Amino acid sequence: MPDLFTLGVVLLLATVVTAVLFVLRQRRTKNPLYDLAVAGRRTFWVAGCAGIIVFGALLTAGYASAMGTAVAKSGEDVTAATQSALQLSHSSAVDLARQYLQYADQITTAAKSSFLKGDTLAYLAGLVAVIIGMALVFFLFQKKAEEERLRAGYRAQDEAAATPGEALPAGEVVVAMAE
C-alpha cells in the first residue's frame, strides 16, 4: 500500500488531468455538458464560495458544539488544551486518541458522533436552501406554457440562423446567452 503522501500526489495529479481534459472537451464540443462562460462569471464563484463557507461553518460549529457536550458529559477531567484539540476537527480528535490509547474508544466514538451531529446541521441548512430555491422557481419562474413558447421562439431563431439545408436535430435548441 502506498504511503499517504504518494497517494495524495497521485490523486491530485489525476484530478488536475481530469479537469484539464474536461475543460478542453467542453470548449471543443458543439453541445457542452456545462457552459464554461457561465461557470467563469464572478457571481457564480461568489455564490459557490459563499455556499461552501456557510455549510462548512455549520458543519464545524455543529461538530465543536457536540464534541464540547460529549466532553462535558464524560465526567473526565479534561484540560482546556485537550478539549480545544478535540473540538478542532475529527482528525485532531483521532490524532489525540492515538496519543491516549486508554481513552481511544471514547474519543473516536465521541468524534464520530459529533461529526454526524455537525453534518445533520449542515444538511438541515441545505434542505432549507433547497426549499427556498423550489419556492423561488415555483413563484418567480415562468410556467410550462410560457417555457414552451420561449423554446419554440428560440428554435425558430436557431433555424432561421442555420445555414441553408442544415437542420437541427429534433429537440435540440441552441441559445446564445448574453452577458
Listed residue (74, 109, 79) closest to 94, CA to CA: 109
User: Computed over its alpha carbons, how large is the radius of gyration of the chain?
Assistant: 25
Domain count, the chain: 3
C-alpha cell recorded at residue 112 = 464520530
Same domain membership, residue 150 and residue 63 = no
Same domain membership, residue 79 and residue 34 = no
Same domain membership, residue 5 and residue 32 = yes
Same domain membership, residue 134 and residue 52 = yes
**Domain with 8 in it:** 1-38
Same domain membership, residue 45 and residue 27 = no
DSSP 3: -
Same domain membership, residue 114 and residue 70 = yes
Cβ-in-10-Å burial (0-12, 13-18, 19+) of 87 comes to buried
Same domain membership, residue 116 and residue 62 = yes
Same domain membership, residue 127 and residue 93 = yes
Same domain membership, residue 169 and residue 102 = no
Same domain membership, residue 62 and residue 8 = no
3-state helix, strand, coil in the chain (%, to 5): 80, 0, 20
- What is the pLDDT tens value at each position of the chain, 179 positions in all? 457 788 788 888 999 999 999 999 888 888 888 778 877 887 778 888 888 888 888 888 888 999 999 988 988 888 888 888 888 888 889 999 999 999 899 999 999 998 888 888 888 888 998 899 899 888 888 788 888 898 898 888 888 877 666 665 655 555 554 44
Same domain membership, residue 96 and residue 83 = yes
Record the pTM.
Answer: 0.55
